[in-house]
Every structure is written in C-alpha cells, then in structure tokens.
Amino acid sequence: MADKRINTNINNTFLRKALKNFATAYPIARAKAFEGIDFAALRHRIAVSKLAGLKRLPELIAQFTASAEKTGAIVHFCRTPEDANRTIHGIIQSKNADFLVKSKAMTSEEIELNHYLEARGIRCLETDLGEWIIQLAGERPSHMVMPAIHKNKEEVAELFSKETGSDCPADIPFLVQKARETLRSGFLTGQVGMSGANVAMADSGAIALITNEGNARLVTTLPQTHIALIGVEKIVPSLDEALDVIEVLPKNATGQKLTSYLSFIKGPTGGDGRELHIVLLDNGRTDLAANPEFQTALQCVKCGACANVCPIYEIVGGHVFGHIYVGGIGLVLTPFFHGFDKAEEILKLCIGCRKCNEVCAAEIDIEGLIVDLRDKIRKPFGQKFMFGTMMKNRKLFHAALRAAYLAQKPFQSAGGRIRHLPMVLNRETANRSLPPIAETPFRDLMLKRPTTPTLAPKQEKVLFYSGCLADFVYPEMCTDTVESLEGLGYSVAFPQEQSCCGIPARYSGEMDAAREMAKLNIDVLLSEEADFVVTICPTCTMSITHDFVKLLADDPLYAEKAKRLAAKTLNYSELAARKIPPSPPLSKGGETAKQVVTYHDACHLKRGCGIHEEPRRVLRELANAEIKEMSDCDKCCGFGGSYSIKYPEISQEVLKNKLSNINETGVGILAVDCPGCKLQIEGGLEASGSKMRVEHTATLVRERMR
Amino acid sequence: MNETTVEKFRVAAQMIGAEVHSCGSGLGAANAAVRNFSTSNELSSLLQELAAGGSICASTLPGDLEAHLAGLVVSDRSTAADATLCISFAGAGIAATGSILVQLTDPAERAATALATKHAVFLRSSSIVSTLRDLSASLKAQLLGADTTYFSITTGPSRTADIERVLTIGVHGPKELHILLLEGE
Ligand code: SF4
Ligand code: SF4
C-alpha cells in the first residue's frame, strides 16, 4: 500500500472535503451532546470497570454464557475467525436457509463473514445503509460508525442504479427512500437475521444494540432465527456498566445524545421456533486481555471518536489509516486481530499528536500503545545503526550534524534557507523551505560565554536542556531562552554532555537505544546541583517527565533517578510563569503598545504535558502580547519529527489546514513553544510568500527586555 | 410528575424530530374537556388523519386506552408490513432525550412498530423520568427476571447520515414518530 494509496486518497477531493467537513462539525456536535455531563468522570468509570472486566475476562465470558443459556439462547464460543465462520454457516445450514439478512457488525467485517458464506452459496444482505453501499461497491468500511463516509452521492447513485436497474438521481433523500424500498423485501424474505451488539451483560445474559436506522430491529425480528456475533470484550458485568457505555457512545461517535433505537434483547422472544444464537468471538481477545502491556486496547467501546479527531485520518481516510478497524485504535488492534504483518505499515502512519487520547471514550492511551507496538514490528534496514550506534554516541551524532552543515551549503538560497534539496530528498521540500543547520550550534556559543557567576542569595539555578533541533538549527532561540530566564532572575547553565532525548529512537521502536539515551541524559542532568531543569522543546519535556520514567521503571538503579529528574524538569513556559509578576518589571523603556499574536499549541505540550495555560500567561504578562486565538489552535501542524520526512505528502496536507487557520487570524506574529512547530509552520508560511513571523515564546519575552 | 420534566420531555422529543400531541387530562377516565384532544372522537380523527387512508395496526394497549380506538378500523397485526400507522403504548418517557420506552417482546408487535411508515405512541406524563438512569431499577428488574424480553428506547424517527453525512429521516423504521401525551395521568 503505502505511498500510492496515500497519494490517491490525498488527491481524492471528495474524500478530503467530506472528512474535513466532518472534522469541523464533529467537535461542535460532540460538545453539545456532552453539555452538563462530566465526560472525564464518565470515561474514567468506563476505563476502570472495563479494565477490571478484562482482568477476569474468562470468568465474565463464563457468567454471560450461563446467563444467556438460561434465557434459552444458544451460545457458541469461537476462538478463531474460521471457527466463527464455520459455526455461523452451520447454523444457517441447519435452518435449510440460504439468505442471511444483516445489520451492522464490525465483528462480521473482522472475520470476513460475507466472503466465507458467499463462497458457500449463501446470500448475505447488508441492510445498514452505509454497509449496503460498501457491499455494493465491494469495499471495506472506512470508519467504524460511518462505513461509507468516503462515498459521495454520485457514487451511491451509480451503485444503486446498477443494483436496482432503474436510474437513480444523485439526490440524498431519493437514495435513502430507494434503499428503504429495495431492502424491504430483504427483511421480509431473509431467513436468518444477524446483528452485532454494542454491549452484553453478564448477569442477565442480555445484549444491547445502539442504532439509528431501525434495521437492527427488523433483522432481529422478522426471521425466526437471530444470530448475534459479539466480540467477547463487549461483555460487562451488569446494566450499570452498560448504561455508562450507552451514555458515552452516541455522544462520542456522532454527537447525538442518544440514537433513535436502543434495544435490549434477552433470550429468544416469540415462542416456538424462535432461536437466538450468540456467537462469542475471541480472535486473540482473551490473550490480549491478559497482556499487561496492551490489554487497555480492549477497553475500547468502538465509538470511532479517535478517527474523528485524527489529523492523519482526516487527510488519508480509513482505507489507509487502518485495516478493518480504522483510526488510532484500529492501528492498535490490527496486529492482535489480524497479525503484525498487516500492522507494520499502518503503525508508522501515526504522527503522535495524542488528539485521540483526549477524546477516547475509554480513556485509552492510544498513542502510547501505538508507540509501544512499533517496538514489536520489524525495523527498517539501517535503523539499528542509526539509533543503536550513531545516536547513542553523542560525539558521533553531533559530528554528523556538523558535517551536515557543510553538505547542505550548496543548496542554500540567498536568504540562507534551503529551498531545493537533491532529488532523493526533493519530495520533502516541495511546499516548505527548510532552515539550514547552523554554522555554530548553541553548545559552541555557550562555550564562549563567560562562566556563570556564583549564585546570589536565594537565586534559583536552572540547567538548560535545549534539545537537538534548537541546539543545531535555532541557536538564537536557545540564547533567547538563557537571556530571558536570566532577566527573570534565574541563573542558567548548559551541561555540555547532554544529548538527544531519544524520542526519535522510541518513535521508531528502538526501545533499547531509547533507554540508553535516557540514562545518559539522566546522569548528565543530575550530576550538577540545580533547582530546575528547563527545556524549550515540548517533546523533550514529555520525554524527560514521562518517557524516561516509563522506560526505566524496572531498572533498579535508574528508576528512582528518572523520577527525581522528572520532578524538577519544567517546560520554559512553566518556569517563566513562576516569575509573574516580574520584579523588577521587564520593560526597560516606557510601556509600548501590546503586540497581537496568535498561539499554536504544540501537541506534546498540550496533550503530552497538559500545559496550555502557562504559555498564554507568559505571553500576556511577560511578553506584553494580546492573544487572538485561531480555530483549532491545538491541532497538529504536521511536523512530527521524522514523520515529515517519512510522509511528506501527509505532513504537508496537515500543515495546509494549520496555515489556513493561522492566516484567518490576520495577525503578524505566531507564537509557539516548540522548535519543531516553528520549523514546520515557518517553512510553510515562507513557501507561500507570507511575511508572518513565527517565534518561540522565549524570543518574545527576550525582546520585551531589550 | 412535575411540569418542568414534562416540558423538558416535550422540547427534547420535538428537537429530535418527534411530534408531541397533548391529550387532555383524564382523557382515559372521564373524557374531561381539556386542550387538544379532549375526546376519543378527536383522538381517533387524528389517528385517521395520520393513517391517510392506509391501514392501521395496533399493539395490545392498556384497557382504558383500548376504548379510544373503538371507532378505528384496526387491522390484524400479521399484515403489519403494509400498515401505514402503528399504534402502541410506551411504559415510560425520558425527559433528557425525549425518548420513550416501548415493550416489544411480542415479535408481531415489534415488527409492526418497525415496519409501519408512522408510529403513534401513547405516553402517560406521569411516567416521564428525567434521565435514562432513573429507569435503571425497573429495567434491571426486567432484565434479571425469569422471562425473556425485548424492549427499545426510541428517540425520534428512524434516521441515517450514511450518505455524505446528511441527516435523512426514515430509512428503515418509521418516518414519523407521534407521541400522544396523556397529560395529568
Ligand atoms: S496520536 Fe494523533 S496521529 Fe496518532 S492516531 Fe492519535 S490522533 Fe491520529
Ligand atoms: S479507542 Fe477510544 S475513541 Fe477510539 S473507538 Fe475506542 S473508545 Fe472510541
């Protein structure tokens, strides 16, 4: 797949427009649906009860089975997709039937049931409108809740015309009516009906279906035999837990308070001849539920919200961003349900913005699971050397960066920026100009500085951890950091032995290398007495405050050290905000007029570290700025470190969305707290001819002091 | 049930596309004259109008309500597939979402409510609760009871947004949901 599919989908204007419209409308509808509801508390309750259930999943399955059998249902536990397919085929055959009428069930897609049955002469009819559309088109769903979001009305009209043999105009109400009429006979003549379930209750053996169209009620009613195909992770202890799922699901999925139909089914109803078969699908779930590293993935209630907000899904759609299950959680579940070979490519597509985590109905650290899974897939050739040998060795790595300064010289344009790289790297620079690697990195500038004077009484000492990008590309940003912090009263030192925080290694699944880099930096940053460690790169902040601790949790020597370092590491804005109001006041001359800026929240600062107030306070109080917010201020800029090099086309498309939001504000300065965001956005603005300045908050504070 | 809960229910139900008709207080018992539908006659003319000449089928209704349908020609439930209007009874309403709880354990009744073009449901205002959670005790009793059961919480008419995310009413289920609110009961 990869490149070709990605480009096809990027160039599919309808898909892009549909996904973009939805991405814009969804957060508004969602917020409205959750009005008056404590989402954080609700999803936390779901996470806790789901996890507790997963830890005793075999017991829940046994309890559900016993309860359901008591109601007269026949329960089949199927370990593999093959088992499930065979079992369902057997049920249909035992009824002498050859026509299965279905409502939506992702589990059926998961086991590719239609394919199996049709090969054996059984007709399958999908009656959910979206599922029917993709069945007619012979495709897979591109969203868990809106399977046909990638199809426009013209395509649907064409499919319906072909199917019904009558000319269908591309008019949505007409097409919906056509579906109603055409599928009616399917409901009335289907011999066996199939549904999924959104939740199953162990104490009563009942299942619940959350739907809008009304087809689920028909397929569970008109045929004498009803088969419900259910993933075992859908089982919860009782109605109490089920109600939480029901409360969250429609709101998070489509921004509806409740869907049109919420149906509870307990046992076969309607007397003689009526049968209810419940097919419980395992397909790796009980193993995954017992896997402490990844079990939280099964907390998922399949609301699809993680796809709804994902900036990459918005660009490429579900046929690229996922396998059968799509969106962030699709990336996580695919290796367990469908094998690691199916997951290798797609796991790399996540840019790490953590937007999905923010909305997840089950409080899953989706992004964290994606990163951890990368450790389990085959690594590209050469990557081991890159991280295992070169980056782990600080001198070698920094020497390579210095060499790059010389290698890039021929490609620099008059302004010093790089507009055109040689062929191999050309894709990357199409819509973006790149800043060159600096002739003198910040670490060398620091060597030339007079040594730090001894501390004044009560003066706090700060160690500055710059991060590679700022050190080698934006030395002046680092200087502004040091000088502005000094201006605020701190004493600042730069430990020369510091090296890369290891995030590129971690994101590429090289956990051992990442661990080594963490240790190296911990030693460097703890060896010198200081009150704080400060970073100006949110990814580094997140690395030190979260990842080091996690990576070294089992290390007898470093676990404690990592925690100690994390406790005193702050992002620039947090450290600067401690000095509000500044004394003495910062501005030397008379008070100048406020400058208007707009602010872009870096993903790793807002969602990686939970910081979004402090930068704004620092801008207002210390940089004398007025903030004009842009829409989607916390949406990813598309940089993602090496992501922008691996997937330049996607990265550029995400950037375009960002640029248009920035430009709409009409202000002259964009403030950021991340050198990566600066690199990406500044490059995009420059390539589009914009004169807007993009500055780190530290630079704007420093300017105020001049 | 206090006024505001009923009012909230009415607003929420209308917002989601259901029509709410007020039936005067005591319609069932004494045919007292209040508001829109004060007599059985007026009620049955509303139902006739909804059926628009098509056939009508009805679920088993509480005895007092059954009487109101006396003047209507109600066809056999086995012909539900062709019915224009299905009349049934909701055991409870939910104010927060404008939803109604309908017992559907009998497959013939279930089919009727799912197949008809329009669905008209009686609801006693006294049975309206604030949120779904307020029903949990009675739902639990039903789920944990000895009998098999099937019930739906219905919120507005059947809908879909599967083509271009455009909300369209009436894909497989009823295109219209009429709630016949029995006030003061
Ligand atoms: S972290 Fe961002 S890019 Fe990755 S799956 Fe989540 S929303 Fe998508
Ligand atoms: S991972 Fe979370 S957001 Fe995504 S579908 Fe599952 S519950 Fe919803």
A517-530 pLDDT tens trace:
999 999 999 999 99
CA-proximal residue: ligand 1, atom 4 (nearest): A350
Nearest CA in chain A to B115: A218
Taking CB atoms and an 8 Å limit, are A128 and B162 in contact across chains?
yes
By most ligand atoms within 8 Å of CB, the mutation choice from A50, A294, A325, A364 for ligand 2 is A364
Total domains in the fold of chain B: 1
Report if residue A38 sits inside a domain: no
Calculate how close chain A gets to B39, using CA atoms only, in Å.
Answer: 31
Nearest CB to B165 within list A18, A179, A263: A18
Supply the range of the domain harboring residue B168: 3-182
User: What's the pLDDT score for residue A688?
Assistant: 87
Nearest CB to B171 within list A146, A201, A214: A214
Taking CB atoms and an 8 Å limit, are B163 and A72 in contact across chains?
no
Q: What values do phi and psi take at A195, rounded to 5?
A: -135, 170
E strand or H helix at A200, and its extent?
strand A199-201
Q: Output the domain CATH number for residue A624.
A: 3.40.50
Helix (H, G, I), strand (E, B) or coil at A261: strand
Mean pLDDT of A431-456: 78
Residues A83 and A165 in one domain: yes
Mean pLDDT of A444-462: 84
Report if residue A319 sits inside a domain: no
Plot region of B101 (φ>0 → left; ψ -120 to 50 → alpha; else → beta): beta
Closest C-alpha to A701, from A615, A592, A614, A622: A622
Domain final residue pick, A577, A607, A634: A577
Ligand 2 proximity of A361 Cβ (cutoff 6 Å): yes
CB A630 within 8 A of CB A597: no
Q: Output the domain CATH number for residue A509.
A: 1.20.1050
Expressed in angstroms and rounded, the spacing between residue A660 Cα and the centre of ligand 1 is 21
Closest C-alpha to A221, from A152, A268, A182: A268
Report if residue A587 sits inside a domain: no
Residues A600 and A543 in one domain: no
Mean pLDDT of B159-176: 88
Q: What is the pLDDT of residues A84-125, one digit of tens each?
A: 999 999 999 999 999 999 999 999 999 999 999 999 999 999
Range scoring the smallest mean pLDDT among A39-53, A351-365, A492-506: A492-506
Q: Output the domain CATH number for residue A121.
A: 3.40.50.10420
Nearest CB to A260 within list B105, B156, B164: B156
Residues 449 through 488 of chain A touching chain B, CB cutoff 8 Å: none
Taking CB atoms and an 8 Å limit, are B162 and A187 in contact across chains?
no
- pLDDT band, very low/low/confident/very high, at A249 (cuts 50, 70, 90): very high
Per residue, the 3-state secondary structure of chain B, as one string, reads CCHHHHHHHHHHHHHCCCEEEEECCCCCCCCCCCCCECCHHHHHHHHHHHHCCCCEEECCCCHHHHHHHCCCCEECHHHHHHCCEEEEEEEEEECCCCEEEEECCCHHHHHHHHHCCEEEEEEEHHHEECCHHHHHHHHHHHHHCCCCEEEEEECCCCEECCCCCCCEECCCCCCEEEEEEECCC
CB A533 within 8 A of CB A568: yes
CB A199 within 8 A of CB A207: yes
By most ligand atoms within 8 Å of CB, the mutation choice from A298, A302, A321 for ligand 2 is A302
Tell me how long chain B is.
185
Smallest-distance ligand from the CA of A106: 2
Ligand 2 proximity of A355 Cβ (cutoff 6 Å): no
- Residue given tokens 């100006």 in the structure block: A536
Q: Which among A261, A265, A278 is the top mutation candidate for probing chain B, defined by the most B β-carbons within 10 Å of its own β-carbon?
A: A261
E strand or H helix at A670, and its extent?
strand A669-672
Residues A398 and A529 in one domain: yes
- Residue A513 contacts by C-beta under 8 Å, 6 or more apart in sequence? A387, A388, A391, A392, A502, A505
Q: CA torsion sign, A22 to A32 to B181 to A260?
A: positive
Beta-ladder partners of A99: A123
Residues A573 and A601 in one domain: no
- Residue A104 contacts by C-beta under 8 Å, 6 or more apart in sequence? A126, A128, A130, A131, A147, A195, A196, A211, A215, A216
A74-78 and A123-126 beta bridge pairing: unpaired
CB A605 within 8 A of CB A612: yes
Domain final residue pick, A548, A577, A606: A577
Supply the range of the domain harboring residue A440: 394-577
Q: Output the domain CATH number for residue B10.
A: 3.40.50.10420
pLDDT of residue B32 exceeding 70: no
Q: Taking all residues of chain A, what is their mean pLDDT, rounded to a whole number?
A: 90
Nearest CB to B140 within list A130, A184, A239: A239
Residues A408 and A527 in one domain: yes
Q: How many CB atoms lie within 10 A of CB A424?
A: 7
What's the CA gap between B81 and B74, in Å, rounded? 14
Residues A634 and A670 in one domain: yes
Closest C-alpha to A325, from A88, A313, A137: A313
Residues 257 through 316 of chain A touching chain B, CB cutoff 8 Å: 257-270, 274
pLDDT of residue A429 exceeding 70: no
Residues A561 and A689 in one domain: no
Q: What is the pLDDT of residues A136-168, one digit of tens each?
A: 999 999 998 889 988 999 999 999 999 999 999
Smallest-distance ligand from the CA of A250: 2
What's the CA gap between A499 and A501, in Å, rounded? 6
Ligand 2 proximity of A304 Cβ (cutoff 6 Å): yes
Smallest-distance ligand from the CA of A328: 1
What's the CA gap between A23 and A18, in Å, rounded? 8
Taking CB atoms and an 8 Å limit, are B136 and A243 in contact across chains?
yes
- pLDDT band, very low/low/confident/very high, at B166 (cuts 50, 70, 90): confident
What's the CA gap between B107 and B109, in Å, rounded? 5
Residues A122 and A265 in one domain: yes
Total domains in the fold of chain A: 3
Q: What is the pLDDT of residues A644-677, one digit of tens each?
A: 778 888 898 899 999 999 999 999 999 999 999 9
- Residue A561 contacts by C-beta under 8 Å, 6 or more apart in sequence? A522, A526, A552
Q: What is the pLDDT of residues A256-303, one digit of tens each?
A: 999 999 999 999 998 888 999 999 999 999 999 999 999 999 999 999
Residues 126 through 155 of chain A touching chain B, CB cutoff 8 Å: 127-130, 133, 146-149, 151-153
User: What's the pLDDT score for residue B161?
Assistant: 87
pLDDT of residue B38 exceeding 60: no
Decide: pTM greater than 0.90: no
